[in-house]
Amino acid sequence: MRSERWAPRVTVATVVSRAGQLLLVEEEKAGRRVLNQPAGHLEPGESLLEAAVRETREETGWDVRLTAFIGSYQWAAPDGTPFLRFAFAAEPVLHHPGQTLDEGIVQALWLTPAAIQADMARVRSPLVWQTLSDWLAGQRHPLSLVRQVP
């Protein structure tokens, strides 16, 4: 039996699509510019759905409407940090071009799936492409599967 406490980092990610392109962020991570979905950590007191909408707005300047739950993903980073990621599909609603983006975000950009796949060396983690692959394969579940119990 393990005596250490397992405490994964809970994150959300959003796949936002428009006219065959996907909304990604280019961010600085460990001195490299990498690509990621709008994503971030769940904050105390918020639901996973609220976190996904908030993180998308903070990282891209886009308000979105969540349309589906893509899936949950468990992953350990190379340094051993455990993550639980909850991914959602969304559609863009309103852009706020003057909004300051989160620290570390260089820019939000719209890319085709082919352009992302051609630049896999810059994808931040395997979670990014796995989430996109599942979305591209049509994996969508009702948002009602993700519930916050009061």
Express each pLDDT in 47-105 by its tens digit: 999 999 999 999 999 999 999 999 999 999 999 999 999 999 999 999 999 999 999 99
Residue 108 maps to a domain: yes
pLDDT at 130: 96
- State pTM to two decimals: 0.93
Residue 145 maps to a domain: no
61: nearest Cα among 104, 13, 94, 29 = 94
Q: Are 56 and 62 in contact (CB under 8 A)?
A: yes
CA angle 43, 78, 51 (to 5 degrees): 15
CATH number at residue 62: 3.90.79.10
Categorize the per-residue pLDDT at 2 as very low, low, confident or very high, splitting at 50, 70 and 90.
Answer: low
The number of distinct structural domains making up the chain is 1
Residue 2 maps to a domain: no
Residue 43: which domain range?
9-140
pLDDT at 29: 87
Residue 99 maps to a domain: yes
